[in-house]
Structure 1
């Protein structure tokens, strides 16, 4: 799978402080726009599990 373009979060403000995501070779890459050289790479299943945990409040005690 070729690299797709970075997509900005719909929750991002008009400035460059946002999370961006793209698909690369069956994986998901995430970065913060103002630190574009730092990229987190994971599987779609692992990202889905993380998002489900966040929505379920599993990490609220870390806040």
Structure 2
């Protein structure tokens, strides 16, 4: 992941309402593209855990 540059999934296309991420030193920031003023900063380890949970469906509704 390139540092300091916001990135979004290639699956997002040109639509708004996408989650964007960027790396800042020892912090990963996450924001929603249509609310760029609000960010969430987490450690790389916490972000990796989040991605793992998403990949296995651990955050799906009803699971």
> TM-score normalised by the shorter chain: which range applies?
0.7 to 0.9
Match of 2:55 in 1: 55
Pick the structure with more helix per residue.
1
Q: CA deviation at 1:62?
A: 4.1
Q: Residue by residue, what CA displacement relative to the aligned partner does 1:8-34 show, whole Å, maximum 9, x if unpaired?
A: 221113133211111112110011110
Pick the structure with more strand per residue.
2
| Gapped regions of structure 1 (runs ≥ 5) | none
Structure 1 runs of 4+ aligned residues shifted over 4 Å read none
Give the TM-score taking structure 1 as reference length: 0.76
- RMSD over equivalenced CA pairs, Å: 1.9
From the CA coordinates, give the structure whose radius of gyration is larger. 1
Question: How many residues are matched?
Answer: 61
Give the TM-score taking structure 2 as reference length: 0.76
